[in-house]
Structure 1
């Protein structure tokens, strides 16, 4: 499994109270499988992504990415895991404004030690952004920036791709196109995709849909 979560529990401090955000949560995502995660605001979707990415400490339970356990990992090991095995696509793109499109795309691959110029160029071609390689993020549209962010995340050949509302800033036409390209690329690269989304249309493009509600996760469709 690219992602395996077992008996995950997570508590947060809400004012003066402690609130159980996640209770005995179990989830697995196989290589090349595309999974949507839905739920109301405050249900814990982004917290779950942060836990999977090793950005928040695991309080109780097990998370493993590409067979590597995060539970007892040091900060250095978690940083290395993110470089080597996890790609992240943000809602607000998080491109490096001082770098060209091509340099942005190459950034994660160089960090992972998997720089392959032809792979990066092939991703740009598949995403329809080859003509933008010498441009800078400030000159791009929202849809173009999101495609660059997808290429950057996939260029390091991660085992797991995490996407937090990646189409939240796009119109419906751009959203549909970007999601279709993202799913196709995840499958062709045998990369597991876990996408947080509020959009039923986006979720319908995935292999499975889960809903996070009342501290637990349930399969909506597969």
Structure 2
């Protein structure tokens, strides 16, 4: 099992009150399993991804990624986890402006010690960004940056891939192609994929679909 969440609770300050954003969340994602997470804006989907990635502290409950209990881990251990085990596709892309597209794509893979030029070249062609390799992020459109960010995450061959609206800036055709590629590679590389999306069409391509509302997580597609 690549990801195990048990009895996770998370509160936020909402105006003058404290609000339960996540209430007793239980979730597990196995290696090679593709899971969609849906819910309205502000329901806590991105916060949940940040907690899984060790980017926000766990208030109550347990998250285990690749046998590491995040709540008990040091910052150094969390950094190593993100470097070697977790791939993240952010909504804001988080590309390094001083690096070319080629160097951005290779960056995470080299950090993880998993750089494979054959895998990277194949991803570049599959995502149709070969012509952009010598460009810099500032010259790219939103859709192009999205595809570069996806290539960077997949090139590192992570054991757990967290994707926050990975098709949000792509047209319907490119979005469908990218999701198909994500699923294919997750299965081939035995990567656990947790994908946040507002698109029912995207979610339907996953093995399971969960819906987050009023702090509660419910399974709407998959084995109960």
TM over 0.5: yes
Shift of 1:3: 0.8
Map of 1:65 onto structure 2: 65
Does the residue aligned with 1:179 lie in a helix, a strand or coil? Answer: helix
The answer as to whether partners of 1:91 and 1:167 remain within 8 angstroms in 2 is: no
- Residue matched to 2:36: 36
**C-alpha displacement at 1:212, in angstroms?**
0.5
- For the 8 Å contact 2:11–2:22, the answer to whether it is kept is yes
Gaps of 5+ in 1: none
Distance in structure 1 (CA, Å) of the matches to 2:10 and 2:141: 38
Q: Deviations over 1:39-83 (max 9, x none)?
A: 111211111011001011111111011121111011111111110
What's the counterpart of residue 208 of structure 1? 208
1:66-81 counterparts in 2 under 5 A?
Answer: 66-81=66-81
Q: Spell out, residue by residue over 1:85-124, the C-alpha distance to the aligned partner (whole angstroms, 9 max, x if none).
A: 1101012322223222211110101222222323322322
Mapping of 1:19-168 within 5 angstroms? Answer: 19-168=19-168
Distance 2:142 2:181 in 1: 15
TM-aligned CA distance change 1:141 to 1:177, over 3 Å: farther
CA contact (8 A) 2:160 2:192 kept: yes
The whole-number CA distance in structure 2 between the counterparts of 1:181 and 1:144 is 16
Deviation at 1:176, TM superposition (A): 1.4
Q: Report if the CA contact (8 A) 1:161-1:194 is conserved.
A: yes
Q: Specify every segment of 5 or more residues in structure 2 that has no aligned partner in the other structure, as ranges.
A: none
Whether the 8 Å contact between 1:37 and 1:210 is mirrored in structure 2 is yes
How far residue 135 of structure 1 moved from its aligned partner, in angstroms, is 2.8
Give SS of 1:114's match: coil
**TM-score, scaled relative to structure 2:** 0.93
**Is 1:170 the equivalent of 2:194?**
no
SS of alignment partner, residue 134 of structure 2? coil
CA offset at residue 136 of structure 1? 2.7
* Alpha-carbon distance in structure 2 between the residues aligned to 1:185 and 1:148: 16
Indicate the SS of the match to 1:71.
Answer: helix
Deviation at 1:204, TM superposition (A): 1.1
SS of residue in 2 equivalent to 1:48? helix
> In structure 2, what is the Cα distance between the partners aligned to 1:145 and 1:187?
24
User: What's the Cα RMSD here?
Assistant: 1.5
> How far 1:84 moved relative to its partner?
0.8
- Alignment partners' CA distance in 1, 2:186 and 2:144: 18
CA shift, 1:139, in A, is: 3.8
